């Protein structure tokens, strides 16, 4: 995957997260990539901040970078919906 399209995918996911949770002030991402045997592995970490709060998400390990990005943002949405009622849209 080209770096530009990966960056675009991550920015798209951040934008969608901010639409659902407009209180979010900052989302930092960190993509971890390594090799296990012959397989490439990926995991996306998220640092989500809003006034007086922070949520850290260690995305699940996936074989594909697209899948890792989507899985991390799915995990973030689930955690924000269930554990951060004050962030839920009115």
pLDDT tens digits, residue range 5-44? 899 999 999 999 999 999 999 999 999 999 999 999 999 9
Indicate whether 83 pLDDT > 50. Answer: yes
pTM of the model: 0.85
Describe the strand order of the beta sheet including 53-58 as a list of residue ranges. Answer: 26-36, 39-50, 53-58
What is the model's pLDDT at position 36?
Answer: 93
Indicate whether 49 pLDDT > 90. Answer: yes
Rounded to the nearest angstrom, the gap between the alpha carbon of residue 38 and the centroid of all alpha carbons in its chain is 26
| Residue 90 belongs to some domain of the structure | no
Q: Which domain holds residue 65?
A: 3-83
| Residue 88 belongs to some domain of the structure | no
Q: How many domains does the chain have?
A: 1
CATH assignment at residue 30: 3.30.160.100
């Amino acid at each position: 995957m080209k770096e530009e399209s990966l960056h675009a995918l991550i920015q798209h996911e951040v934008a969608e997260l901010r639409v659902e949770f407009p209180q979010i002030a900052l989302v930092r991402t960190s993509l971890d990539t390594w090799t296990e045997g012959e397989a490439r592995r990926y995991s996306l970490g998220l640092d989500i901040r809003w006034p007086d709060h922070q949520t850290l998400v260690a995305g699940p390990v996936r074989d594909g970078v697209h899948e890792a990005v989507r899985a991390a943002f799915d995990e973030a949405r689930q955690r924000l919906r269930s554990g951060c009622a004050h962030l839920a849209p009115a």
